[in-house]
Structure 1
Amino acid sequence: MTNNPRLTEAAYQGDALEVDRDFYGRLGELTDARTVVSELTVEIRSGEAWEIPAGHICRISSVEGPQVGDLNLWNRNDPRERFWASRTRQLQAAHVSTFDRLWSTLPFLRPMATIVGDTLADYGEDSEGGRLHDTLGTRCDPYVSQMLNGVDFDYHCHSNLVRAILPFGLTEFDVHDVLNVFQCTGLNDDDEYFMKTCPAQPGDYFEFFAEQDLLAALSACPGGDLSQPMFGEDGDDTAENCHPLKVTVYAVSDDLLEGWTEPQSPRYRGAHGLSSQPWS
């Protein structure tokens, strides 16, 4: 018997969390069965938004050097359904990789995307407990910057995402907790959140399969590779550590999608204990 908390079983288990590794493995491996349908570049300290039809694959690539990207997802047809970082953290992991799924908010609660490719999957856990593709933290924002340092800065990830989604009819209130793509983070011995230098190199990528029609938005973090502090006097100029990110959306051949259907929400049909009858 051991008291090592790392050996404690996951709190959330069940058949609904199982994935067809053969199906998603083929999607990630058979890259010749894809066709590029759109591409864009997220320039340094900026954000972009784009659509991903259900059944397509989206790849986020490091093209010039290490760079962290903050990702938001919404159902394209109903943006009330959006990525739920905390539930993904519980159902999958605090740091996600191939075959993990990105889950949506209540009352929808279904996979929005399934990760099918990650060139940094072998990074694992480093000597300081750092891991990649983080759901522990969230986007940097100008409110925290002002609160901690008294500095206004308009190109934090939150602001980049706000600007990116405005053309799609969304607002600041639609920006939500992110998946930090390529970001290396963990918890220190005092259970405090830390960030490390991004290890991604040109050619590294992270890609996912859209389980539903998606609107995605990505910010190229103003901290770049996070090799310097983002806040305070030492973080005033990190531009030399910033690089663009490339986004590519692929259609896949119909035969690869055979048998796939869009995930459905759980069939909860209760009313949360509420009644439409007046109290007697």
Structure 2
Amino acid sequence: MELTAGRTVVPAREGRAVRVPAGRRVRVVDLEGGQVGDLFAFAADDPRERLSAMHTRSVTSRLFPAVGEAFVTDRRRPILALAGDGSPGSHDMLIAACDPARYAALGVPEHRSCARNLDEALAELGLDVTATPQPVNLFMRIPVEEQGRLRWLPAESRPGDSITFEAVMDCVVAVSACPQDQVGINGGEPTSLAIDVL
């Protein structure tokens, strides 16, 4: 999808990707509430360079950037800046994207996954990646307890809640409406998201 402005609906359990020029904003909207979205971003001129959660954590010294801070790539260059958060503010950069191996281990090997959704969304733009990068898990609640244990809680985003990024470089942004229904992060059946390029 070569869209550079307007709304792209990401149907439940699927993924979509859009091109976002530097300086433009991109907003991810939870249309019905309680839905996790896996966000990925790649440099437009070289998709081997991608948003890196671990590099971002090392730059910001946070588990998730604050408004005004940047997400950086695996080459430590800013790719997206967090421009605004109109949600309860729970997001995650620790948990890997769900993939076929995850669902095979849960006994549902034919289940859709965020890794597959990413591949399909990028293929629509004529792109591919050799490995699924760590996503930015929007609206996902994974609190870290005192002893370092992680808890998997349902997303608390409400219908219409959103998070907005500004592209620091020309990039491709992909979002998967996470199909996870084996662990209660979505709080029920997965639902749709929207990507608004502003």
Both structures adopt the same fold (TM-score exceeding 0.5): yes
- 1:1-280 pair list within 5 angstroms: 37-92=5-60, 93-106=62-75, 109-120=76-87, 123=88, 132-146=90-104, 148-223=105-180, 229=183, 240-250=188-198
Q: SS at the partner of 1:49?
A: strand
> Would the alpha carbon gap of residues 168 and 102 (structure 1) be closer, same or farther in structure 2, given more than 3 Å must change?
same
Q: SS at the partner of 2:68?
A: coil
Offset at 1:96? 3.1
Q: What stretches of structure 1 of length at least 5 have no aligned partner?
A: 1-35, 125-131, 251-280
> Would the alpha carbon gap of residues 97 and 195 (structure 1) be closer, same or farther in structure 2, given more than 3 Å must change?
farther
For residue 93 of structure 2, what is the amino acid of its counterpart? Answer: T
| Alpha-carbon contact 1:47-1:219 (below 8 Å) kept | yes
Runs of 4+ aligned residues of structure 1 deviating over 3 Å after TM superposition are none
- Distance in 2, matches of 1:39 and 1:185, equals 28
- Distance in 2, matches of 1:43 and 1:156, equals 13
- Distance in 2, matches of 1:87 and 1:239, equals 30
For residue 72 of structure 1, what is the amino acid of its counterpart? Answer: F
When normalised by structure 2's length, the TM-score is: 0.88
Whose RCO is larger (CA < 8 A, sep 6+)? Answer: 2
- Distance in 1, matches of 2:134 and 2:109, equals 21
Offset at 1:75? 0.5
For residue 133 of structure 1, what is the amino acid of its counterpart? Answer: H
User: Root-mean-square deviation (CA), in Å?
Assistant: 2.2
Offset at 1:39? 1.1
Q: SS at the partner of 1:90?
A: helix
For residue 56 of structure 2, what is the amino acid of its counterpart? Answer: T
For residue 25 of structure 2, what is the amino acid of its counterpart? Answer: I
Q: SS at the partner of 1:241?
A: coil
Offset at 1:195? 1.8
For residue 116 of structure 1, what is the amino acid of its counterpart? Answer: A
Q: SS at the partner of 1:194?
A: coil
Offset at 1:184? 0.9
- Distance in 1, matches of 2:30 and 2:154, equals 14
| Alpha-carbon contact 1:70-1:179 (below 8 Å) kept | yes
For residue 80 of structure 1, what is the amino acid of its counterpart? Answer: R
Q: Point out the structure with max Rg over C-alpha.
A: 1
When normalised by structure 1's length, the TM-score is: 0.64
> Would the alpha carbon gap of residues 173 and 154 (structure 1) be closer, same or farther in structure 2, given more than 3 Å must change?
farther
| Alpha-carbon contact 2:34-2:187 (below 8 Å) kept | no
- Distance in 2, matches of 1:37 and 1:149, equals 39
Q: What stretches of structure 2 of length at least 5 have no aligned partner?
A: none
- Distance in 1, matches of 2:118 and 2:48, equals 16
Q: Which has the higher helix share?
A: 1
| Alpha-carbon contact 2:154-2:187 (below 8 Å) kept | no
